[in-house]
Amino acid sequence: QLTHDAIEVEQRRIGEAVGSQDQTAAAFGGFNRIDFGGNREVEVTPLTISTEKMKNLQDHLMLFFTGFSRNACDVAQKQIEITNSKVNELNIMIDLCKEAEEKLVSSDIGFLEWGELLNEQWKIKKSMTNLISNSIIDEMYEMGMKSGALGGKLLGAGGGGFMMFFVPPEKQRQLKESLSSILHVPFRFDFSGSQVVYYSNHA
């Protein structure tokens, strides 16, 4: 369950009105379930996913830059302010996350429903505040869906940044052509987490 108090704890920890999920995900790398609050402030549980399913998931994801950035703190601050009135929506998003996790770790390779879960999650997320999406983002998303995507979402707080789509490989060329005015950003999963690239103990 999400509470206003739990979010305030995260806010105080990092000194900004943003969550700490991005920092945690980057530090550990790979696929994890990350739980915040409770007896342990942050609990990271690695997910066991077959190599074949991992490749299948990678092959279904496309990333695009919306063309404009935003201050995540502004978007997150608004979400914090309305948390108590959106507990039901937040808990539905948690349930969708659990369902998506189950589909990833199951032995069944097919998981096209995963894209549909993303679509449901995005519809709920953008209903939280009017800062999460805008007419440009909505148009981009609708174009992606009409071009073959089964779902997608903005990464991060919302309001700009990167849009991820779940797209069957045979539809990806069509989607890329439909969004040709928007930067497509190829990416690969990383499993190493944060590393020290260079270290010197000399002053």
**190 carries an active-site annotation:** no
133 token code pair = 């999406």
Distances (CA, A) of 10 to 14, 24, 73, 138: 7, 12, 13, 29
Find residue 33's DSSP bridge partners. 45
Catalytic residue among 5, 22, 59, 138: 22
Q: Tell me the DSSP string of 130-192.
A: TTS--HHHHHHHHHHHHTT--EEEESSSSSSSEEEEE--GGGHHHHHHHTTTSEE-------S
Q: Report how far residue 31's alpha carbon sits from residue 25's, in angstroms, rounded to the nearest whole number.
A: 8
Report, as residue numbers or ranges, the catalytic residues: 22
